[in-house]
Amino acid sequence: MNIVIRPSNENDIKEIIELQSQSLFQLSSKYYNQKQKQAIINSQKRARSLLYHQEKIYVAEIDGEKIIGFACFIYKHNKLGQIGGIYVHPDYFRKGVGTKLIEKIEEIARQYNVVILEVFSSLDAVVFYRKKGYTSVRRVNFVIEFTFTNMPTQFLYKKLKPISQNEADEIKKLLNYEIKQHQKSNHLIQFILYFIIFFLIGFFIAIAIMSQL
């Protein structure tokens, strides 16, 4: 089995989105129910289509024919990078594909002089990241847009190079800021959803009242 990791191109996007859906559908029922799986599949389809040109995506291709996995790297700021996701086709789970992909992402991150690489991992993949040297910080819940579905994730990070105590303190502040920003985003999404629902309820009640006049 000859696996090559290469940068993605425009022709890969359809196959990438399909593989992503297949991979997410295999999320363990121990952590995620069917509603959560479907919500994150739909959400990630939209996100991958919209963010394709903002991410650096690398695909794992077998024998030069089939994409069996991919990973995303996002350069953020102040020597901070993020793994936007690692996805592997279910037929190739536990065959070293994820390892090859994460090694590539870390290689690219170092080229950007990234010191800390962070990831919001599915609960299924936490053990994988820990084995690769990532440290768990805390669990973070995401609210999937357009739904009331909560998606629990684990926030982890890895130091890619030695850092001083001052740098460590600065990085700690950045990581806490990242978590707070995601929490604010979740609260905003919830507020918007509640506002829309109450607006629609009020609208239909008003129509019902007017129809009785």
Q: What are the Cα distances from residue 60, in Å, to 16, 72, 84, 195, 204?
A: 10, 12, 16, 43, 51
Here the tokens at position 22 are 């297949």
- pLDDT (tens digit, 9 = 90+) per residue, 71-93? 999 998 778 899 989 999 999 99
Question: For residue 2, is pLDDT > 70?
Answer: yes
Cα separation, 202 vs 45, in Å, equals 32
- pLDDT (tens digit, 9 = 90+) per residue, 37-66? 888 888 777 776 666 667 899 999 998 889
- Full set of structural domains in the chain with CATH: 3-212 (3.40.630.30)
Highest averaged pLDDT of the listed ranges 43-47, 72-76, 101-105, 133-137:
101-105
